[in-house]
Structure formats: structure tokens, C-alpha cells
Amino acid sequence: MKQVLIDAYGAPHEVARCAEVPDVGAPAADEVVFDVLLFPINPADLLLCRGNYRLKPPLPATPGAECVGRVSAVGSGVTGVNTGDVVITLQRENWTQRRRVKADHVIVLPAGIDLQQAAMLRINPATALLLLTSVVPLQTGEWLLQNVANSSVGRLVIALARTRGIRTMNVVRRAALCEELKALGANACAVDGPELAQTVRDAAVGAPLRLGLDAVAGAATGRIAACLAEGGVVCAYGAMSGDEAVMPRSVLSAGGVSLTGFTLTRPLSKYPRDQVRALYADLARRVMDGTLYAPVERIYPIEAIRDALADAQRGGRNGKILVAPNGAV
Ligand SMILES: NC(=O)c1ccc[n+]([C@@H]2O[C@H](COP(=O)([O-])OP(=O)(O)OC[C@H]3O[C@@H](n4cnc5c(N)ncnc54)[C@H](OP(=O)(O)O)[C@@H]3O)[C@@H](O)[C@H]2O)c1
């Protein structure tokens, strides 16, 4: 079977290759085997290839924090998972044609779910939901501020905030995106830059902002912080600039703004498995009813993993890059 391997840490499109590896074999009593139908290339996967992610597995390694698959075989002791089920897995190393994992590590999705959205269900929707609900409890009618608003996470934050009556102030680096985000339910949109704080103040008509979500880092963190009300919280959950988050002393001391971080693994690893299943059942329901949607730019075959990785590193995309390891779905 085919599997993506990286033999060294470096530029993702140079270090990754599509390799021929032995098949995963039959499932043990407590395992399931599934064909990987689609996987996305996420920023964290790119960081892992570069050796800049918090996990640095021994080489050669297979990246891939998420995927969607269809079960082809179940072990004799497995209940609740059946051949033909559409599943996601809580395990990594998903850039491959087939997986054999413990049945406890898969989540069965509703039949008929959009497979492209399902491939992206494990990470970004859960991240958007927990960023919205677990950092600063916002009341209906309050505003939140976020950059990378046109990213997959950003769009999901807009959609989920809207269902809660929370207003979103959205920061992008391409003005042309603002109309599209407003059509999704964004309440206001601004282009990042030195005037951001004034633009945001004007757009929110003086309403205090208590939460700023930052996935750019570097000086962008300070620009988000400068928009917040006294005592506000910047949550740094990504670093698309490749830099560390920088908070000017003035906003820390005079503005009383604080900086915190977020990674999905931390809260999820503390959830009992039933709560994890309930979370994904809720998110899958919201995908099925159309509330949650992330656009897809292009789907590649696994043999073209290097082209897919080059495309995923391109700015100005209009959606995720997916890979279909077993052919078109
Ligand atoms: N902490 C967690 O647990 C967690 C979980 C999931 C995601 N994340 C983070 O969330 C962020 C968004 O992920 P995603 O999957 O939603 O991303 P995505 O859909 O691939 O979109 C990437 C976004 O980053 C912007 N961008 C790229 N390079 C940039 C730069 N140098 N400066 C400013 N903006 C830049 C892009 O803007 P253009 O469209 O203008 O190019 C786009 O808005 C990433 O940082 C990711 O690591 C964190």
C-alpha cells in the first residue's frame, strides 16, 4: 500500500515522498481496519514536516493529524463499529491508504456526511468551538476579535459565534475577502496593519472586546492586543508568520491585557472518551445541517503528495488542500 514518509525534517514538499509499504494486515480482536478516503494538509502537518511542531517523531515518519476513512474489517471483539462505517480516528500518522487502529480510537460518523468536511472534522471545528467557549466566557451580543478570519478555523469561529449570538470582528490580510466573510455571518471585517486598533474601535462602535484570537503571532499579536478592552485576553493558538507572539509592554501593563495559549490536545486529552464522542457527534450534526463548512481548494492523489504540499504552503488559497489516497471519492 502507499504511505507518505518523511525521511528528514525540512521543506515539506522536498522531504515527503509517497512510498510503497507493507499492508496493515488483519485487525486484532480489539482493532478495526479502514481505507483512508481523504486527508487534509493542515498548518500543523507542515510544521511537523519541518521539525518545528511540538511532536518530533523518529524518522522515517508519517505525518497526518486527521483523516476520514471507511471501515473494511473489524476485529472479533469490536462492538459499535461495522464494516462500511465512515470514521475518523483520534490517532496520528494518517497520510496513508489504510489504517489499523484500536476500535476505541475511532469515531463513527453519521451515514451520508459530506466526506470532505468529515476529513476536516477532528481538528478545526473542535478548535473553533473550544476557542469560543473555553477561553473567555462571552455573553450574547458581545464581540470577539480574530485574525486569519478567512482560514478554516476562522470561518468556523464565525459560524459558531453566530449560533451563540456572539458578534465577530474579523481581521484578514486580503480586503477582497470581507464581503465573503460577511455573507457567512461576520459582523465586521478589517485588513491587518498599523491602523488596526482604530479600524476595530470604529467598527465595533466602542463596544469593549474581551477576547482576541491570534493565529499569526509575531507583531500581529500586539496589534490584536491593542484592540482589546482593559483586562482583555489574547489567545495565541497558531503562528502562521512563523514568529513567536510579541506583546508590547504597554498593552500588558497599561492595558492590563493578558496573553494565553490554546492547543486542542490539552482539553481533549482530559475528556473522558464519552465526552469526546459527544463533542464529535455534536460537530458532525452541525456539518450535516450546514452550520459548519470549510471550503476546499483542490484534491490531489497521494502520489502527488509533493505538489499537494507545495500548494498547501501557498498564501492566498481559497480553501484546504485535501489528498484522496484511494482515488476519487
Ligand atoms: N492550537 C490548536 O490546537 C490549533 C488547532 C487547529 C488549528 N490551529 C492553527 O490555526 C491556524 C489556522 O489553521 P487553518 O487550518 O484554519 O488554516 P488554513 O485554512 O490553512 O488557512 C491559513 C490562514 O493563514 C493565513 N496566513 C498564512 N500565512 C500567513 C502569514 N504569514 N501571515 C498572516 N496570515 C497568514 C492565510 O491567509 P491568506 O488566505 O491571506 O493566505 C489563511 O487565512 C493555524 O495557525 C493553525 O496552526 C491551531
Same CATH fold, 124-263 and 2-122+295-324?
no
pLDDT over threshold 90, residue 253 = no
- Alpha carbon of 151 to ligand 1 centroid (Å): 6
Closest atom of ligand 1 to 150 CA is: 43
- 3-state secondary structure at position 283: helix
Q: Which CATH number fits domain 2-122+295-324: 3.40.50.300, 3.90.180.10, 3.30.460.10, 1.10.1740.10?
A: 3.90.180.10
pLDDT of residue 254: 84
Evaluate: CB of 240 within 6 angstroms of ligand 1: yes
The domain segmentation of the chain, as residue ranges, is 2-122+295-324, 124-263
Evaluate: CB of 266 within 6 angstroms of ligand 1: no
The fold of 124-263 is Rossmann fold (3.40.50)
Crossing angle (nearest 10°) for helices 43-50 and 305-312: 110
Cβ–Cβ < 8 Å for 62, 5:
yes
- 3-state secondary structure at position 35: strand
- Active-site residue identified among 53, 271, 280, 293: 53
Ligand 1 pocket mutation, candidates 42, 151, 196, 320, criterion most atoms within 8 A of CB: 151
**What is the DSSP annotation of 73-94?**
EE-TT--S--TT-EEEES-S--
The 3 state secondary structure assigned to 133-197 is HHCCCCCCCCEEEECCCCCHHHHHHHHHHHHCCCEEEEEECCHHHHHHHHHHCCCEEEECCCCHH
- Alpha carbon of 237 to ligand 1 centroid (Å): 10
pLDDT digits (tens, 9 = 90+) for 104-145: 999 999 999 999 999 999 999 999 999 999 999 999 999 999
pLDDT over threshold 80, residue 270 = yes
pLDDT over threshold 80, residue 5 = yes
- 3-state secondary structure at position 284: helix
Evaluate: CB of 276 within 6 angstroms of ligand 1: no
Catalytic residue status for 53: yes
- Alpha carbon of 183 to ligand 1 centroid (Å): 20
Evaluate: CB of 293 within 6 angstroms of ligand 1: no
Evaluate: CB of 84 within 6 angstroms of ligand 1: no
pLDDT of residue 255: 86
Evaluate: CB of 147 within 6 angstroms of ligand 1: no
Q: In this predicted model, which residue has the larger pLDDT, 307 or 206?
A: 307
% of the chain exceeding 90 in pLDDT = 96
pLDDT digits (tens, 9 = 90+) for 50-67: 999 999 999 999 999 999
